[in-house]
Amino acid sequence: MDFYQISGEQWYLLFHRELLLFTAAFFAVGVVDEFALDLSYLWMRITGRISTPHIRTESLPQRLLAGDAAIFIPAWQESSVIGPTIAHLLASWGHDNLRLYVGCYRNDPLTIASVVASARGDNRVRLVIHGEDGPTSKADCLNRLYRALCDDEARYGREARMVVLHDAEDMVDPAALALLDLSLWRADFVQLPVLALPQSNSRFIGSHYSDEFAEAHGKSLVMRDALGAAIPGAGVGCAVARKILARMGPEPFARQSLTEDYELGLKIAALGGKGRFLRARASDGRLIATRAFFPSRLDVAVRQKTRWMHGIALQGWDRLGWRGTWIDLWMQMRDRRGPLAAILLASAYVLIAITAAGWLASGLGLVAPSEYSPLLGFLLLVNVLGLAARSLSRAVFTAREFGWRQGLLAIPRVVVSNIISIMAGRRALGAYIKTLRGGPVTWDKTDHSDHPAMVPWPELVRVA
């Protein structure tokens, strides 16, 4: 048939079939990938190779640390949240050999004032003022804190044993610091889980993070640890041995990276350091984790995930390349599939609209019903089963941490997660192209103006 004589109906059928084949084939690859991880996880759980131990934590908060601990919190325009964070951290971790370094900028007087007020004269707090106007980058602020630590060590002739990273909105677990201190006897880098707390005023946008972190920090990172793969940093609730940090040079945090925390864990592994993901429960059953509320507005959530996708998937490919064992390569592939997944998700939702329109047109007799080949039919079946398995998995991991109601809500929240990923993927590709043209890397930090009012620790634990 002549190319120019193809009818509109034939164009529709051709486009629909080819887009369906493309999307179904790549989704099937993702289904196989997830199935391999799920099967490995189930096998290791059944055989006892992975478990979540319950430890006696009553005396952990009062346990003497093996050495000095330096806590780094970089802060830019965080006056709305930094005060409760510092107050809770100082109350939870009463150790004398702890020093909290909070990095602020000279052009951010509100955050500086909040830090001073929340410290309440506690001599364990060290306010560090960056000599440049903010924001520069989060890594640059962390490097400024590292220089302040080095200066203090030289002044007092005493080196810290570990550096712990946190963000301005984190609520730490009282047992976490002592547990990290113990764990560093057998590791150089330790990451604790992060619990993104559900939000009653944002049951879908703000609470969809609960589902993602529950599954990622309940299964994916657990499997990375069990398989011996490098452990990436989450930027909060992670401890680094001071000696290996010194081996990374005068600026251990990657200034040009949007996800310097992610890179940190992988670089430590490349230096021969041992990384661990530590998942444990306290005597009362709570998960020893960093708790935080995540963005509840769509625009803020998209911006945050844009930075993650840009830094991990696109910059990570450029800056870190592909290295390590086959397990490391598998995990790197999973980390960097975000932009492709966004394209596939967008294609899937376009297909839903096209298919619905096609059914309507077919019912009206305007076009012939679509016919699927056996191969395409098989791929579609695999996709449907994979989607059902993914939704069930997310619901189970969410319910384990937050109860069955949140577990049920996790299923429709998959759609919210997908839409945010699509929007973030488009922005991430655009931002990456700008950096290739020489654009600067700036601190595109998360806005916490919509952050829920902080609640006391016992209520936070009940939420989780």
What pLDDT, on the 0 to 100 scale, is given for residue 458? Answer: 56
Residue recorded with tokens 């200066």: 151
Laid out side by side, the sheet with 98-105 consists of: 125-130, 98-105, 69-74, 162-165, 238-241, 189-191, 275-277
Report yes or no: 149 and 253 within 8 Å, Cβ to Cβ. no
Q: How far is CA 265 from CA 211, 252, 302, 318, in A?
A: 23, 11, 25, 17
Exposure of 109 by Cβ count < 10 A (0-12 exposed, 13-18 middle, 19+ buried)? exposed
User: What does the alpha-carbon distance between residue 357 and residue 350 come to, in Å, rounded to a whole number?
Assistant: 11
User: What does the alpha-carbon distance between residue 433 and residue 69 come to, in Å, rounded to a whole number?
Assistant: 40
What pLDDT, on the 0 to 100 scale, is given for residue 3? Answer: 46
Host H or E run for residue 402? helix 374-402
Report yes or no: 137 and 263 within 8 Å, Cβ to Cβ. no
What pLDDT, on the 0 to 100 scale, is given for residue 335? Answer: 95
Among candidate residues 276, 267, 258, the one with its CA nearest the CA of residue 431: 258
User: What does the alpha-carbon distance between residue 187 and residue 431 come to, in Å, rounded to a whole number?
Assistant: 36
Report yes or no: 210 and 406 within 8 Å, Cβ to Cβ. yes
Q: How many residues does the chain have?
A: 464
Among candidate residues 99, 75, 244, the one with its CA nearest the CA of residue 169: 75
User: What does the alpha-carbon distance between residue 411 and residue 405 come to, in Å, rounded to a whole number?
Assistant: 11
Catalogue the E-assigned strands of 124-236: 125-130, 162-165, 189-191, 194-196
CATH code of 1-464, in short, is 3.90.550.10
What pLDDT, on the 0 to 100 scale, is given for residue 1? Answer: 47
End-to-end CA distance of the chain: 63
Report yes or no: 290 and 263 within 8 Å, Cβ to Cβ. no
Q: How many CA atoms lie within 13 A of 323 on its CB side?
A: 11
> What's the sign of the alpha-carbon dihedral 131, 134, 137, 139?
positive
What pLDDT, on the 0 to 100 scale, is given for residue 59? Answer: 74
User: pLDDT per position in the chain (464 positions), as tens?
Assistant: 454 455 555 666 677 778 888 899 999 999 999 999 999 999 999 999 999 999 888 777 777 899 999 999 999 999 999 999 999 999 999 999 999 999 999 999 999 999 999 998 899 999 999 999 989 989 999 999 999 999 999 999 999 999 999 999 999 999 999 999 999 999 999 999 999 999 999 999 999 999 999 999 999 999 999 999 999 999 999 999 999 999 999 999 998 888 999 999 999 999 999 999 999 999 889 999 999 999 999 999 999 999 999 999 998 888 888 988 999 999 999 999 999 999 999 988 888 888 777 777 666 766 666 677 888 889 989 999 999 999 999 999 999 999 999 999 999 999 999 999 999 999 999 888 888 877 766 666 777 666 665 555 555 666 55
In this structure, the number of other CB atoms found within 10 A of the CB of residue 77 comes to 20
- Tokens encoding 334: 């999973």
User: What does the alpha-carbon distance between residue 254 and residue 141 come to, in Å, rounded to a whole number?
Assistant: 11
